[in-house]
């Protein structure tokens, strides 16, 4: 089913609805083992663009409301997107996400839990999942997707398109495997600062001052 949906993305999504200008860092995607793709989220099409260009099959986490979108809501169901209730601890979503990672597969997570022009405070979910499974984290910086999706005849198509950059992979040190509380918050902030470092200044938001970044919990792969 995902192969068929990827075909639709290739033949429809990136020929009619979204212009893709540049992709960098595909060599940073681990060839095997569990991976969390940590993205900034500025437009509806961001996860779709990452699914299309990444070299591995990815299961996204997304707000439960995407299942109810008119017409397009069927595609998250077919893809197997994990729906998450954002205003509570969604134990069912956590269980499914852990299953994906323990099977050696990939997740896509927008750690802010919502879209925004610049990074907001990250939530601890991605750090929790990475710590419990030893999954690699690949930061994915997205730019140029504002205004999409649009039909190719729209004037937005003549302007610069999407730029997707895959950063260097890292994981959390083994001693943080059972981290919680303040340690988990620190892990989240350190991961968010890594992501911010790949973004232009106007997208860094809460993580604008890279001089505050630490890497105490991180080891590079």
SS (H, E, C) 147-166: CCCCCCCCHHHHCCCEEEEE
For residues 185 and 124, the answer to whether their CB atoms sit within 8 Å is yes
For residues 45 and 18, the answer to whether their CB atoms sit within 8 Å is yes
For residues 47 and 142, the answer to whether their CB atoms sit within 8 Å is no
Which strand (E) or helix (H) includes residue 23? strand 20-24
Distance CA 189, CA 200 (A): 18
By the 10 Å C-beta count (0-12 exposed, 13-18 middle, 19+ buried), 202 is classed as: exposed
Which of the residues in the chain have pLDDT under 50? none
| Domain boundaries, given as residue ranges, for the chain | 2-220
Distance CA 166, CA 102 (A): 22
What integer pLDDT is reported at residue 199 of this predicted model?
98
Q: How would you label 49-80 residue by residue, b for 16+ Cβ within 10 Å and e otherwise?
A: bbbbbbeeebbbbbbeebeeeeeeeebbeebe
Whole-prediction pTM value?
A: 0.90
What integer pLDDT is reported at residue 17 of this predicted model?
73
Q: What percent of the chain has pLDDT over 70?
A: 90
Distance CA 197, CA 87 (A): 28
What integer pLDDT is reported at residue 18 of this predicted model?
80
Over residues 35-64, the pLDDT tens digits come to 999 999 999 889 989 998 999 999 999 877
Distance CA 188, CA 109 (A): 12
User: So what CATH class is 2-220?
Assistant: alpha beta
Q: Are strands 82-84 and 106-109 parallel, antiparallel or unpaired?
A: unpaired
């Amino acid at each position: 089913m995902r192969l068929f949906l990827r075909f639709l993305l290739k033949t429809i999504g990136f020929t009619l609805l979204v212009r893709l200008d540049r992709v960098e860092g595909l060599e940073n995607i681990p060839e095997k083992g569990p991976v969390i793709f940590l993205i900034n989220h500025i437009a509806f099409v961001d996860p779709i663009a990452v699914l299309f260009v990444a070299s591995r099959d990815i299961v996204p986490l997304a707000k439960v409301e995407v299942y109810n979108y008119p017409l397009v809501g069927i595609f998250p169901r077919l893809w197997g997107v994990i729906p998450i209730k954002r205003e509570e601890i969604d134990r069912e979503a956590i269980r499914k996400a852990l299953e994906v990672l323990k099977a050696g597969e990939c997740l896509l997570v927008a750690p802010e839990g919502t879209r925004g022009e610049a990074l907001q405070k990250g939530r601890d979910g991605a750090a929790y999942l990475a710590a419990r499974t030893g999954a690699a984290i690949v930061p994915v910086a997205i730019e140029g997707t504002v205004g999409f999706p649009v039909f190719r005849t729209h004037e937005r198509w003549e302007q610069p398109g999407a730029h997707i950059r895959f950063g260097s992979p890292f994981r959390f040190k083994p001693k943080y495997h059972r981290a919680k509380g303040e340690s988990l918050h620190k892990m989240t902030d350190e991961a968010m600062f890594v992501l911010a470092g790949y973004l232009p200044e106007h997208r860094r938001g809460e993580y604008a001052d890279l001089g505050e970044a630490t890497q105490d919990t991180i080891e590079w792969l």
